[in-house]
Amino acid sequence: MRIHAIQTGEVQIKTRHVESRRNARPARVLDVLTDRNWAPRLPISAYAIEHPDGLIVVDTGESSHANDPGYQPWWHPFVQTSERRWVEPHEEIGPRLQALGHEPAEVGRIVMTHMHGDHAGGLSHFPNAEILMSAREAKMALARDGPANGYLNGHYPGWLKPSPLEFDSEPWEGFEASIVLTDDGAVRLIPTPGHTLGHLSVVVDQGDHLVLIAGDAAYSERALLEGIVDGVAQSAEHHRDSTRRLRELCTRHTVVVVPTHDPDGPQRLAESQATAVPGR
């Protein structure tokens, strides 16, 4: 099963956003807002899984309008002062998929790891798709107070009606629940709360190894291995618990880890380069 990493431009965030040094969320966010140091630009990735049942797209990247004047809400200090984005129109997920030979209008299923703007910004390319996300994420992202919690839901397409997923089915590995997405069992969703409370990750069984499409469960392979919590995570405690479970998975299996913002993720994916966990 071929999996494509699709880069939809770049984002730049503060060093204390990449790696926080406080525990409580208000202290972490304040630390990011007052940080003067920008981390290097990072890729914004989405993924396309060429499954025999049909193409499955994981996340949709950022919109090329993200830097238009007035696009980001003026009253939102975080998006105004603590994030920068570079996305050209041809870098949006729609044209990227077309370049790979896939018509966006024919995509049947989109899986959202979570609903932050750099993951949901390309949803408008998929008006005919079923948009899957955890029930918790759907509720929080579409809530009236969503923007205050980091969900700029005014940018979501007006037609968006997510298919909410309840993680109430079979346990899998170290996870209390999981959802099998395909009849052959090769694509599975697991709850990885922390960055957002409804965050999920996607595990693809490639036979001799697993590919973990980790979204923002950790910003990089290193963050996953070291349990580094990001500056805006809704829950540091859940974040650490999720990366611990993911490390256990990497101990028991050969796992290729591809987080959204890890510059080395696409190369690891192309080379099926597994994550080396100490003790494996």
From the list 218, 209, 215, 219, the residue with the least C-alpha distance to 273 is: 209
Q: Which stretch binds Zn ion (CB under 5 A): 126-134, 156-164, 166-174, 208-216?
A: 208-216
Residue among 3 and 115 whose Cβ is closer to Zn ion: 115
Residue among 216 and 262 whose Cβ is closer to Zn ion: 216
Interface with Zn ion (CB under 5 A), residue total: 2
The DSSP annotation for 147-161 comes to GGGT--GGGS-TT--
The least CB distance from residue 51 to Zn ion, in Å, is: 25
The least CB distance from residue 230 to Zn ion, in Å, is: 8
The Cα 129–Cα 111 span in angstroms is: 10
Q: Decide: 258 and 250 in contact? Cβ < 8 Å.
A: no
User: Looking at 4, 16, 17, 116, which residue binds Zn ion (CB under 5 A)?
Assistant: 116
Q: Which stretch binds Zn ion (CB under 5 A): 17-25, 69-77, 209-217, 244-252?
A: 209-217
The least CB distance from residue 116 to Zn ion, in Å, is: 3
> Contact between 216 and Zn ion (CB under 5 A)?
yes
The Cα 231–Cα 24 span in angstroms is: 10
Q: Which stretch binds Zn ion (CB under 5 A): 53-61, 94-102, 202-210, 214-222?
A: 214-222
Residue with tokens 């920008």: 38
All residues at 6 or more sequence positions from 124 whose CB lies less than 8 Å from its CB, including other chains: 63, 157
Q: Which stretch binds Zn ion (CB under 5 A): 52-60, 99-107, 113-121, 132-140?
A: 113-121
The Cα 83–Cα 67 span in angstroms is: 10
Residues of this chain that interact with Zn ion (CB under 5 A) are: 116, 216
